[in-house]
Amino acid sequence: MRRKTILPFLTTLLVFGLVFTVLLANSREIGVTWDEPAYIEASESYVHWLQQAFSHPEIAFRDNILTNAWSLNSEHPPLDKVWSGLVWSVARNFTDDLTAHRMGNMLLSAALAAMLFAWLRSAYGSLAGAAGVLALFSMPRFFFHAHLSALDVPAAFSAFLSTFVFWKLLEKRGWAWGLLAGLVWGLALATKVNAVFVPIVLGVWLLLFRREPRQFLRLVIMGLVAVLVFFAAWPWLYQHTLERLITYIGFITVNHWQIGQYYLGQFHIPPPWHFSFVMLWAVIPLGITLLYFVGIGRSFKWKKDNALGALFLLSAFIPVLVPVIGRSLLYDNDRMMMAVYPFLAALAGVGFNWLASAWRKTGLALRSKTLRTGGVVLLAGLALLPQLVGMARLYPHLLSYYSEGVGGLRGATKMGLETTYWCETYSLALPVINAQAKPGDRIWADPWSHDVLIYYQRIGSLREDVVVTADADDVSIFGQFVKGYPMSAADWYIFEHRQTTFGPAGMNSHMLAVLNRQEVVYEYRYEGVPILTVYK
C-alpha cells in the first residue's frame, strides 16, 4: 500500500474502531425496544435454518421446514436479521445475549461512520469527514438507534452504501460495474424496503447533473441485478413465490398495520404533510441543523464538488418528500427517517468545513494563529456541546431527546409532541418489580409490548415467577405462551408515557381510568415531564 493511501486507510480504520468501541461500551444500558424481540427471535430461527441447510439440505428445503423457519417476521426482508444472527452465534460465546444480538448492527454503525468519514475526506478534506461523523453520532436519537438489533440503522447503512458505491463507479466504464452496483442495491433491498428511494434519488441526480446514456443504462442494469439479488437473499420466497411476493407487496403498500402517531396534541393515521419537517427540526440538535443548512447552501455551487453536495441533499430530502406527496404511513416519531440522517450529517460536515475555512482565512488575514485555531475549536463547541450535555443528562433514555429549537422535552410536550416511544424505559421498572412483586403477580404493560418483558425474563433481568400478560389476546413469543387478560386483572402496571397509546380521543380512555385507580410506586421524570410510571 502506498504511503499516500496508508494514512487515510488507517485514519478511517481508527474512526471505525472508535465508534464501535463507544457503542459497545454502553450497549447494556440501552433498554430493550419494542421491535427487538421479534427481530431477535427471527434472527435465531434464520441462523438455525442456515446451519441445517449446510448440514442437511435435503431436509432444510422441504416446504414445512423452510416455512417454519422463515415465517417469523416475514413481513420484512431478512438480510440484517441473518447478519445479526451470524454475529450473535459467535459473540454469544464471550458476551451477554442482548449485546451479542446487537453487535452486528453496531458493527454496521461503525462501518457507516468510517464510510462517511472516507467519502467526505476524499471530497472535502479530513476536517469535513471528522465533522460529519461527529454530527451524525451526536444526534442523540441516531446514537440510540445505532445500538439496536432493529432494521432502521441497517437500512440507513445500506442506502448510504448503495449511494457511495454508485458515486465511486461514476467514472468507471463498462457494463460490469452496473452488476456491482446492482449487487449492493439488491442487498439494500433485502435489508428493508426503504432502499427503493435509492434509484429515485440517483435518477433525479443524473437528470440534473449527468445526462449521459451510459449512466442511465447502468441504473437499469443495477435495477435488474438488484431484483435477482433480493430474491436470492430471501429463502422465504423460495416456496409459494408469487403468493408470498404479493403478500409482501400488499403489506408494504396498502395492508400495513394501521399504527397511529400523536402529533401536535392529536392522534393521526397518517400524520399531516408537515410532520416529517417538524420532526427533523424537533429532534436534530440545533447546531447540527444550522450546519447542514450551511452545507445545503454550499451544495448549490455544484461545479466545485461535481454536485456531490447536491447528491447528499437529494438523498436526504427525497425520502422525506415522497411521504409528504403520497401521505404514506408514518409513525414512531423520527424512526422512519433514520436513513436520511447520514446524508444530513454529510451536509453538516460540508457546512462546518466551509465555516472553518472561512474563519481560518480571516485569521490568516489578521496574522493570528490563535484566532485561526481557536475559532475552529469554538465553532465545534457551539455545534456539539449543547447536545452532548443534553445526552449526558438524559442518557440512556435518548428517545425523549428534543432539540433547543423546540425548547427541549418540556417545550416539545407543550407543543403536543410525543414524550417517548418503543418501551426502552421499561428497564427502569424491573428493579421495582423484582423487589416488590409476589410470585404469580400479573404484569401489564402498554399494548403489544409484552414481548419486551418476556425477553427480559429470558435473559434473567425480570423474575421468572411473575406473569407477563398480553392485552386481552393470547400470544406466543420465543416459544412461550402469553395469556391474555383484561387490563383490570393485572397486579402491576408499567406505563411509558407514549401518548399514541391512547389512540383517538376517548378510544382508550378505559386505560387511563384503570391506571388512575392504582397506586404510583415509581415515576421517572425529566425536566418535570413524566416518562415512565409504575403502578401497583
Residue 387: inside a domain: no
pLDDT computed for residue 1 by the predictor: 57
Is pLDDT of 204 > 90? Answer: yes
Q: Answer whether residue 379 is part of any domain.
A: no
Omega of the bond leading into 396 within 30 degrees of 0 (cis): yes
Count how many domains the chain has: 2
| pLDDT (0 to 100) of residue 483 | 74
What is the three-class DSSP state of 304?
Answer: coil
Highest average pLDDT, of 215-219, 325-329, 364-368, comes from 215-219
Average pLDDT over residues 327-333: 80
24 with 116, same domain: the answer is yes
Residue 378 lies inside a defined structural domain of this protein: no
Do 116 and 247 fall within a single domain? Answer: yes
Question: Residue 472: what pLDDT?
Answer: 57
Q: What is the 3-state secondary structure (H, E, C) of 124-149?
A: HCHHHHHHHHHHHHCCHHHHHHCCCC
Coil vs helix vs strand at 261 = strand
Give the pTM.
0.95
CA triplet 25, 31, 33: central angle to 5 degrees?
Answer: 125
335, 436: one domain: no
397-437 pLDDT, tens digit per residue, is 999 999 999 999 999 999 999 999 999 999 999 999 999 99
What pLDDT is stored for residue 505 in this prediction? 63
Q: Say how far apart CA 14 and CA 134 lie, in whole Å.
A: 14
288 and 198 co-located in one domain? yes
- Do 440 and 311 fall within a single domain? no
**Who contacts 425 (Cβ-Cβ below 8 Å, separation ≥6)?**
31, 397, 496, 524, 531, 532
Note down the domain range covering 446: 424-535
Question: Cell digits for 464?
Answer: 421468572
d(CA 97, CA 481): 21
pLDDT at 501: 87
Least confident of 2-11, 281-290, 300-309: 2-11
**In-domain check, residue 179:** yes
Q: Which of 179, 238, 260 is nearest to 498 (CA)?
A: 260
Q: Please state, in angstroms and rounded to a whole number, the distance separating the CA atoms of residues 120 and 130.
A: 8
Whether 98 maps to a domain, the answer reads: yes
Same domain? For 338 and 430 the reply is no
Residues in the chain: 536
134-156 confidence digits (pLDDT tens)? 999 999 999 999 999 999 999 99
Residue 8 and residue 153 in one domain: yes
Single-letter code of the amino acid located at 141 = R
70 and 183 both lie in a single domain: yes
Task: Give the end of a domain, one of 342, 367, 387.
Answer: 342
How far apart are alpha carbons 299 and 39 in whole angstroms?
A: 38
Q: What is the pLDDT of residues 510-534, one digit of tens each?
A: 888 889 999 999 999 999 999 999 9
Please report which confidence band the pLDDT of residue 123 belongs to, taking 50, 70 and 90 as the band edges. Answer: very high
The mean per-residue pLDDT over the stretch 168-175 comes to 89
Residue 395 in any domain: the answer is no
Give the pLDDT score at 486: 83
The verdict on residue 67 lying in a domain is: yes
Q: How far is CA 492 from the centre of its chain?
A: 31
Residues 91 and 235 in one domain: yes
Q: Which of 291, 324, 342 is the last residue of a domain?
A: 342
Same domain, 318 and 462: no
Q: Would 359 be classed as within a structural domain?
A: no
Q: Which 3 state secondary structure label does DSSP give 533?
A: strand
